[in-house]
Amino acid sequence: MKKLPKIALIGNPNAGKSSLFNSITGLRQKTGNFPGVTMDMLIGKWHLDNGGDAEILDLPGIYSIYPKSVDEQVVINILANPQHPDYPDLAIVVVDASNIKRNLLLFSQVRDLGIPTVLALNMIDVAENQGIVINSVKLARELNVEVAEVNAKKGIGLNGLRLAVNKTLESGYNSNDSLPMDYSHELVEEIKQTYGETDDYHALLWLSEHDNLQQFNTQQRVGFDKIQEKYGWNTQNAQSKETMARYAQLNEIVDNCLHEMPVEEEPINSWTDRLDKIFLHRFWGYFIFLGILFIVFQGIFTWATYPMDLIDSGVATLNDFLKSQLPPTKLTDLLTDGLIAGIGGVLIFIPQIAFLFLFISLLEETGYMSRVMFIMDKLMRRFGLNGKSVVPLISGIACAVPAIMSTRSITSWKDRLITIMVTPLMSCSARLPIYTVLIALVVPEKSTLFGIFNLQGVALFALYLLGFFMALFSAWVMKIFLKVKERSYFIMELPSYKGPRFSHVAFTIWNSTKAFVFEAGKIIVAISIVLWVLASYGPGDAIEQAEINVKMQYPTLSGIELQNKISAQKLENSYAGHFGKFIEPAIKPLGYDWKIGIALITSFAAREVFVGTMSTIYSLGGEVEDENATVMNRMRAEINPETGKPLYDTALGFSLLIFYAFAMQCMSTLATTYRETKSWKYPTIQFLYMTTLAYVSAFIVYQLLK
Amino acid sequence: MTIVISGFFTKKYAYTCEINFRLVTLNMKTIADLKIGERGIIVNFTDEGLSLKLLEMGCLPGTQVTMTHIAPFGDPIAVKVSGYVLSMRKDEAATIIVA
């Protein structure tokens, strides 16, 4: 099969790149992964009239080919390496006509990389409203490329764009003008001799960005350092000079092609300005932000419960049905109590995750999220964070994995690292079922605070606040320890408000939910099965002996009571029971027994298995009459053998709640931290500090309340 | 003169470089000094590391900037420059000299 030509969409953020991509590909798109990083890349197909189909890639928005953050880095790794599997055969640079100089800077850099380039001139209507008229024919002549006028949002001008692409693909033409800035040809020749034949601009790009380019190994990087030293190369200086030289050239071109009509007054009272007056207001700004947060919480904790209950009862019904239909063998138990219970534990999170991503992508799409960063920056900076840390922290309420990945837009390494380290302290949706069960056990349902607020709800809200403040506190502590001499900056665009593109929102929800189900799902299901095996089998023949032993010990018992005693002793003698007993001395000061110990051990892979583990532990071998009893009721009935009172009293309940609020119990999060920091050091520190925090806090709580 | 005093007292741990660059910009007006609605023309930058990013974002010498928003606690700020709104922190704005 002939390889399809690859077309990359490149452009400034908010230039209309993604809209153009959607207009071109319609629904014929899929997500791919950038090699080496787990960052979503959209790939679509575009039918070119004579040349068949082309593959079209939507790359993240960038301002220049010199990256300042990790998400910009991805684009450069492709463009700097002609051997890269995604290196485009042609680039469409999307240019926002209302801000043409800044947009053309990136265009001129991409063109000079020798990639055949087509310019898609977008947002002409916005420019005309500002009194700017651009002569695109003249622009094409001056820049020596095909220029297509498009309206990306409405999908107008696509035929012209297709024509321009066809023409450029056929001629393979790229204007190989000389570079606008001065540089040493001797230096470029040396790079070419050492690293292979290439064009001058690639050689210079390699020299200045070699530390960040995946295509070079350590030895090659050292080689670049030596060349830099030999020629007295100053990357910052060279890049500044290049940018100035490019602008000088572009100024002339733009002056020739652009007419500025006098507009009566600057359109200062545009929608965006009017909305910003409210959203950035010193009082209303925060008030509205809190209001939106409240709606998000409401959505996650109230509206999402309806579909969650449906899923929950659906799984339970299926399990009962299978149990009644299938022969009562070990295999059936594995299928129902192990596998299906485990899958149900994953599915139940879908509504909450979907709701959260609905809100986050709506806020991002409309442009509101950057306003939140703007009003929060000063506050967050006190704690060693950054205005941009707000998004990961909010996302952390759903799941720390996508939250940590969203830190890529933070330009400062120190701010980004601290945000990654503290984000898992935000109470994620996996903690919610644990909170729900334990709060129901220890906080009376009927009590209210000041007669209006349900005390259980207050307790839940307090746990979320506790996680948030602990995240801020930990960030503040890390800020003191992490001494990095690096400037954190906050230069970013405040885009104008727009209506959300619902297809984009739907796509984000679909992708994030799918990623969660498959990534976290694998681990949870695997652990459920392992746990079932560990709880059903034991060393030696102790499990088989259990029945005989119990009958000998309690000869008067019969029926359900006997069965319960037998199953309890079976569990105690299983592998899981032995593990639980083994760590019991360590968790005794927190008030936990060996059964909770089993749940703790399994929770270290993924905390969401806690409730599942509890139901496995308390239901194994349970009688048929028991089937209706919930985990909660079984836990409530559990008696502390030493005191003879209910085991789950206030002290134990709160101690467990605090432990689960702070402990690092998620392998997926640790793996993500490793991937994002490229070092085992940070996930290790994260695991240790959070677990220590959890242990000490739970200890204090238990000892105080006991 | 007021710039130096306010800058010095609010930042208890003023870095030496910070003090130096405050001295350099002593008599010069920067974006950080603009009031809401006030305009200025970019003349020069005092921080080379930041200037590249600012240039890429369209803050060119000769361009007009208008202060549009100041965040609730006086920092960061947002300016209108070459047709869009750009936000930056106050100390970043203080590296852009305007006339």
The complex scores an ipTM of 0.77
Residue A693 has what pLDDT?
A: 95
In tens, the pLDDT along B32-57 reads: 999 998 999 999 888 888 888 899 88
Q: For residue B97, which phi and psi values (nearest 5 degrees)?
A: -85, 130
> Are A63 and B89 within 8 A, CB to CB?
no
**Which of A139, A171, A203 is the last residue before a domain boundary?**
A171
d(CA A318, CA A285): 48
- The shortest CB-CB distance from A489 to any of B68, B83, B92 is to B92
> Are B52 and A370 within 8 A, CB to CB?
no
Q: Strand pairing of B84-88 and A492-494?
A: antiparallel
Lowest mean pLDDT among A312-326, A371-385, B54-68: A312-326
- Report residue A547 as tokens: 């029945």
Contacts of A604 (CB under 8 A, 6+ apart): A665, A667
Confirm whether A247 is domain-assigned. no
- Burial class for A460, CB neighbours closer than 10 Å (0-12, 13-18, 19+): buried
Indicate if the pLDDT at residue A611 is higher than 80: no
In tens, the pLDDT along A112-161 reads: 888 899 999 998 888 888 888 889 899 888 888 889 999 988 888 888 89
Quick one: DSSP state of residue A326? S
- The shortest CB-CB distance from B56 to any of A64, A276, A281 is to A64
Contact residues, chain B, for A283 at CB < 8 Å: 72
**Which of A144, A171, A198 is the last residue before a domain boundary?**
A171
Contacts of A586 (CB under 8 A, 6+ apart): none
Structural domains of chain A, count? 2
- Bridge partners, A11 (sequence order): A94
Indicate if the pLDDT at residue A33 is higher than 70: no
Put simply, whether B82 touches A (Cβ < 8 Å) is yes
- Report residue A546 as tokens: 């259990």
Lowest mean pLDDT among A17-26, B22-31, B75-84: B22-31
Contacts of B63 (CB under 8 A, 6+ apart): B41, B42, B81, B82
What mean pLDDT is predicted for residues A452-477?
87
What mean pLDDT is predicted for residues A63-78?
86
In tens, the pLDDT along A269-296 reads: 578 888 888 898 888 989 999 888 888 8
- The shortest CB-CB distance from A243 to any of B55, B86, B87 is to B55
Closest CA to A609 of A345, A427, A398: A345
> Are A491 and B83 within 8 A, CB to CB?
no
Judge whether A415 and A386 are in contact, CB under 8 Å.
yes
> Are A491 and B52 within 8 A, CB to CB?
no
- Higher-pLDDT residue of A94 and A535 is A94
Give the percent of chain B with pLDDT over 90: 30
Closest CA to A92 of A1, A154, A169: A169
Q: Chain B window 45-64: which residues touch A at a Cβ cutoff of 8 Å?
A: 48-58, 60
Q: Nearest C-alpha of chain B: how many angstroms from A214?
A: 23
- Burial class for A258, CB neighbours closer than 10 Å (0-12, 13-18, 19+): middle
Domain with A679 in it = 268-480+492-535+631-706
d(CA A679, CA A652): 37
> Are B50 and A487 within 8 A, CB to CB?
yes
Cα A306 off chain centre by:
25
d(CA A198, CA A195): 9
Indicate if the pLDDT at residue A655 is higher than 90: yes
d(CA B76, CA B86): 10
- Please list, residue by residue across A113-140, b when 16 or more beta carbons sit within 10 angstroms of its beta carbon and e when fewer do: bbbbbbbbbbbbebbeebebebebeebb
Contacts of A506 (CB under 8 A, 6+ apart): none
Q: Nearest C-alpha of chain A: how many angstroms from B33?
A: 17
Question: In chain B, which residue's Cα lies nearest the Cα of A495?
Answer: B85
Sheet holding A90-96, edge to edge: A29-33, A40-48, A52-58, A6-11, A90-96, A117-122, A146-149
Residue A460 has what pLDDT?
A: 84
> Are B74 and A378 within 8 A, CB to CB?
yes
Residue A351 has what pLDDT?
A: 85
Report the alpha-carbon angle A329-A330-A336, nearest 5: 95
In tens, the pLDDT along A228-277 reads: 888 888 888 888 889 989 998 888 888 888 887 776 555 555 788 888 88
- Bridge partners, A454 (sequence order): A448
Task: List the alpha helices (DSSP H) in A443-486.
Answer: 455-481
Question: What residue type is A51 in one-letter code?
Answer: G
- Looking at the domain that runs over B28-98, which CATH code has it been given? 2.30.30.90
Cα A559 off chain centre by:
52
Quick one: DSSP state of residue B65? E
Q: Strand pairing of A40-48 and A117-122?
A: unpaired
Interface test with A, best of B87, B90, B91 (most A CBs within 10 A): B87
> Are A378 and B72 within 8 A, CB to CB?
yes
Indicate if the pLDDT at residue A71 is higher than 60: yes
Q: Nearest C-alpha of chain A: how many angstroms from B57?
A: 6
Domain ranges of chain B: 28-98
**Which of A125, A141, A171 is the last residue before a domain boundary?**
A171
- Bridge partners, B78 (sequence order): B69, B87
Residue A425 has what pLDDT?
A: 95
Q: For residue A453, which phi and psi values (nearest 5 degrees)?
A: -90, 130
Contact residues, chain B, for A110 at CB < 8 Å: none
In tens, the pLDDT along A402-411 reads: 788 888 888 8
Measured over all CA atoms, what is the biggest interatomic distance in chain B, rounded to whole angstroms?
A: 37
Residue A485 has what pLDDT?
A: 65
Confirm whether A592 is domain-assigned. no
Lowest mean pLDDT among A23-27, A218-222, A473-477, A657-661: A23-27
Measured over all CA atoms, what is the biggest interatomic distance in chain A, rounded to whole angstroms?
A: 103
d(CA A351, CA A305): 8
What mean pLDDT is predicted for residues A324-342?
77
- The shortest CB-CB distance from B87 to any of A243, A244, A490 is to A490
What mean pLDDT is predicted for residues A606-628?
61
What mean pLDDT is predicted for residues B90-95?
90
CA distances from B91 to A395, B14, B77 (A): 29, 12, 10
Q: What's the pLDDT band for A432 if we cut at 50, 70, 90?
A: confident
Lowest mean pLDDT among A27-31, A525-529, A540-544: A27-31
- Bridge partners, A57 (sequence order): A8, A43
> Are B71 and A379 within 8 A, CB to CB?
no
Q: For residue B89, which phi and psi values (nearest 5 degrees)?
A: -80, 165
Indicate if the pLDDT at residue A86 is higher than 90: no
Q: What's the pLDDT band for A696 if we cut at 50, 70, 90?
A: very high
Q: What's the pLDDT band for A628 if we cut at 50, 70, 90?
A: very low
Give the percent of chain B with pLDDT over 70: 73
Q: What's the pLDDT band for B24 if we cut at 50, 70, 90?
A: low
What mean pLDDT is predicted for residues A93-105?
90
DSSP codes joined into one string, A513-555: HHHHHHHHHHHHHHHHHHHHHHHH--STTHHHHHHHHHHHH-T
What mean pLDDT is predicted for residues A627-637?
63
Task: List the alpha helices (DSSP H) in A40-82.
Answer: 70-79
Q: What's the pLDDT band for A521 if we cut at 50, 70, 90?
A: confident
In tens, the pLDDT along A554-578 reads: 777 666 667 767 777 777 788 888 8
Q: Nearest C-alpha of chain B: how many angstroms from A283?
A: 8
Judge whether A569 and A550 are in contact, CB under 8 Å.
yes
> Are A490 and B82 within 8 A, CB to CB?
no
Confirm whether A118 is domain-assigned. yes
- Burial class for B67, CB neighbours closer than 10 Å (0-12, 13-18, 19+): buried
Indicate if the pLDDT at residue A175 is higher than 70: no
Judge whether A259 and A132 are in contact, CB under 8 Å.
yes
d(CA A127, CA A16): 14
Residues A161 and A272 in one domain: no
Indicate if the pLDDT at residue A221 is higher than 60: yes
Give the percent of chain A with pLDDT over 70: 89
Q: What's the pLDDT band for A705 if we cut at 50, 70, 90?
A: confident
d(CA A120, CA A106): 13
Question: In chain A, which residue's Cα lies nearest the Cα of B51?
Answer: A240
Q: What's the pLDDT band for A355 if we cut at 50, 70, 90?
A: confident
Residues A354 and A497 in one domain: yes
Q: What's the pLDDT band for A702 if we cut at 50, 70, 90?
A: very high
Q: Nearest C-alpha of chain B: how many angstroms from A605?
A: 41
Interface test with A, best of B15, B36, B45, B52 (most A CBs within 10 A): B52
Mean pLDDT of chain A: 82
Q: Strand pairing of B39-45 and B64-70?
A: antiparallel
Which CATH number do you get for residue A37? 3.40.50.300
- Bridge partners, B81 (sequence order): B65, B84
Residue A452 has what pLDDT?
A: 65
Confirm whether A567 is domain-assigned. no
Contact residues, chain A, for B86 at CB < 8 Å: 491-494
Residue A557 has what pLDDT?
A: 67
Cα-Cα-Cα-Cα torsion A244, A248, A250, A256, nearest 10 degrees, comes to 160
pTM comes to 0.79
Confirm whether A620 is domain-assigned. no
Indicate if the pLDDT at residue A302 is higher than 60: yes
Give the percent of chain A with pLDDT over 90: 15
Quick one: DSSP state of residue A621? T
- Please list, residue by residue across A611-637, b when 16 or more beta carbons sit within 10 angstroms of its beta carbon and e when fewer do: bbbbbbbbbbebeeeeeebebbebbee
Cα A322 off chain centre by:
37
Q: What's the pLDDT band for A681 if we cut at 50, 70, 90?
A: very high
Q: What's the pLDDT band for B11 if we cut at 50, 70, 90?
A: very low
Residues A655 and A518 in one domain: yes
Label residue A213 left, alpha or beta by phi (over 0 means left) and psi (-120 to 50 means alpha). beta
Residue B88 has what pLDDT?
A: 93
> Are B76 and A378 within 8 A, CB to CB?
yes
- Report residue B17 as tokens: 């470089």
Q: Nearest C-alpha of chain B: how many angstroms from A137?
A: 23
Q: Strand pairing of A40-48 and A29-33?
A: antiparallel
- Give the number of other Cβ atoms within 10 Å of residue A250's Cβ: 22
Residue B15 has what pLDDT?
A: 39
Residue B16 has what pLDDT?
A: 38
> Are B86 and A375 within 8 A, CB to CB?
no
Q: What's the pLDDT band for A685 if we cut at 50, 70, 90?
A: very high
Residue A360 has what pLDDT?
A: 83
